A and B are shown apart, each in its own frame.
Chain A
Amino acid sequence: MFPIKLTGAQIFFKVLEEEKVEVIFGYPGGAVLDIYDELCRHENIRHVLVRHEQSAVHAADGYARASGKVGVCLVTSGPGATNTVTGIATAYMDSIPIVVFTGQVPTRLVGSDAFQEVDIVGITRSCTKHNYLVTDVNDLARIVKEAFYIARTGRPGPVLVDIPKDVQQATARYEPIKEIKLKSYKPVYKPNVKQLQRAISLIKKSKRPLILSGGGVVHARAHEELREFAEKIKSPVTSTLMGLGSFPPDSPLWLGMVGMHGTYAANMATGECDLLIGIGVRFDDRVTGKVDTFAPNAKIIHIDIDPTSIQKNVPVTVPVVGDCKITLSMLNKMLNEDGIDEKELEQIRKDWLFQIEEWKKSKPLKYEQKEGEIKPQYVIETLYELTKGDAIIATEVGQNQMWAAQFYKFHRPGQLLTSGGLGCMGYGFPAAIGAKVACPEKTVVDIAGDGSIQMNIQELATAIQNNIHVKVIILNNSYLGMVRQWQELFYERRYACTYLSYAPDFVKLADAYGAVGLRVEKPEEVRPVLEKALSIPNVVFVDVRIPPEENVYPMVPAGSPITEMILV
């Protein structure tokens, strides 16, 4: 076919269709009008109109986490673009594949401080995997194609493409891009076999191994391979917050989450293990605690797709650069061919597994149930039962996030959506909206606090207008709970500016938006009200009044070794 001339806006959608984009989260404005005008002619692409551009990015991010596909977001120039920055940084820290398209003033005005002009490429340079300013319509198809490619390959991440208005209007001959040629970008997927052999020899010798699984296993959907690997080498498994869902929570080898609010067993095991196998992790400070005392007795095998993660925070004995799924299946294959002596392995690991079991039994996750008080942990346990462990859970940030991570058990990758790296309040609600768009058949619940829900509460309108029936459980303690907890424990209870003495009536507020608001004030109401909330075919806000001074335990004070925990 002879290539025909198309406008930039038309070319934009041609590439989106090639990339099989189903949904765009966005907000129109002057500098993207041409793309929006063209959008009307593409009924196969759903547009979800949000109420704030930050939410468009979070929703695209939630969509990407839940579906494993690239999330797409479209906003205008200037304030539309700057509003995306928090969302982009969130996706960047958690390695989420999204592409953010921003309108820009016409090229002849770029640099003139024109109306609604900002240098968004300059602003986002340090929080995107890569970004582009398109200055010629002839480059548009290639750049959009590259953006998707870069976002989803290697260590995934957000990519921003800034498209000036005149580029959207200009015409060019269009031919589908068949091949992406990037001189310098060639992610390594297949690990070095020699390193794997070294890893296996350490694994065989180890008396006290521990697997630490992270977001990389979730992103690579390597959960099956991980389970096989752990069972084969008879090693207990813990995970980071981002790694929840990568290992079956009902396995006897599962220890729960590690880190600042990790389980006693997981943190103790990290302190005592003689071999730590980090898979798709980056040894963040919330995981390691005081880094000098982290896993003091252990040799470390570190598997990650991003070479910069390796040797960044902790010294590593065996570095392995590769995709988690490919690396684990290669390890499994090598172990099979090697023929490991299971009996012998069981013998070597016997004391260790016994010790682990002791830790698990002696200090499990727990909370004190007091008469008449609604414990947030109980709310989440009840939610787990009622949803049969199958719901997609989004969280905000703070206590709500940690209770959700501790007391909901995650069975599959993409089931927990949480801002792990950036710790971004206001993330959960729009992310839940994005996830519900990706998985309409699943129950999607945002576990929120009364502080963070108010950071993007305007998205109630988005959920109602687009019939996206997510449920929001507000664990309402009238405080910025996690900050208050730090003040209680480390600042002698001086609750500076963390008391939210005024909050809207969330039930009435939901009602005003056309959603359903429910309130829980007594422990015995928890179950029936949650049941009702889950059964109503609408957006539901559940305002749960929890004790104001309930804390998240275990807790490792920042900068302490992770084996030194404050327990309940």
Chain B
Amino acid sequence: MAKERNEKEQKHIFSLLVENQPGVLARIAGLFSARGYNIESLCVAPTVDPEISRVSLVTTGDEFILEQIKKQLNKLINVVKVYDYTQIPYVQRDLALVKVRAKPEHRAEILRIVDIFRSRVVDVSPDYYTVEITGDEDKIEAFLKLLRPMGIKEIARTGPVALARELV
């Protein structure tokens, strides 16, 4: 089995429903660190049921590791459900807040880019615009690439959150 490992590393998004209790996130993070799995990003927030939170988790690994991750997550007592979004259609969004230097000669250009990407300026200060953008990873990367020459001061990103298109 070891032979097959590492050949097909794939990026993978899991969506977990977990009990909204202290320590649950530590159990999930601890599982990943103890077993040497990778967490690329992780997002947690309560669902419509306040007792349940949804965790969107991006990880990488070959199919054996991903199978283990799924089973190990299922084994945690506080994890109610593990959805694997690889085989099913799903929508995925990142949100980024970007603070970009707004020199007078760049302001029009920034606003044009913001407009093209259907993002918006959420805060303005004498020297900076703070811009909010949502979309998939590629869109955000493209956006950041265009803004970079103006001088990006700070970025806060959520990492992907995801939902299946149909109820699963």
Contacts and interface: CB of A to CB of B under 8 A. Distances in A.
A125 B67 contact: no
B8 interface: no
12 contacts: A125-B26, A133-B22, A150-B77, A183-B80, A291-B2, A292-B2, A292-B3, A306-B75, A307-B74, A308-B68, A311-B64, A311-B68
A185 B77 contact: yes
Contacts of B64: 311
A314 B78 contact: no
Interface in A183-222: 183-185
Interface in A289-311: 291-292, 306-308, 311
Interface string B5-25: 000000000000001001100
B76 to A, nearest CB: 8
Contacts, number: 45
B56 to A, nearest CB: 18
A567 interface: no
B77 A184 contact: yes
Contacts of A311: 64, 67-68
Interface of B: 1-3, 19, 22-23, 26-27, 30-31, 34, 64, 67-68, 71-72, 74-81
Contacts of B3: 292
Contact of B71 (A133, A308, A313): A308
B75 A314 contact: no
Given A126-B30, A150-B77, A313 B19 contact: no
Interface residues of A, number: 22
B83 to A, nearest CB: 13
Interface string A380-416: 0000000000000000000000000000000000000
A538 B31 CA distance: 46
Contacts of B75: 306-308
Nearest to B67: A311
Q: Pick from B22, B27, B30, B71 the residue with the most CB of A within 10 Å.
A: B71
Nearest to B4: A315
Given A292-B2, A311-B68, 20 more contacts: A125-B23, A125-B26, A126-B30, A126-B31, A133-B22, A133-B23, A150-B77, A182-B77, A184-B76, A184-B77, A184-B80, A184-B81, A291-B1, A292-B3, A306-B75, A307-B71, A307-B74, A308-B68, A311-B67, A312-B68
Contacts of B79: 184
Given A150-B77, A184-B78, A184-B81, A314 B26 contact: no
Interface in A108-145: 121-122, 125-126, 129-130, 133
Nearest to A313: B1
Nearest to A185: B77
Please indicate which of the listed interface residues A122, A133, A307, A308 has the most CB atoms of chain B within 10 Å of its own CB.
Answer: A308
A312 B70 CA distance: 12
Nearest to B69: A308
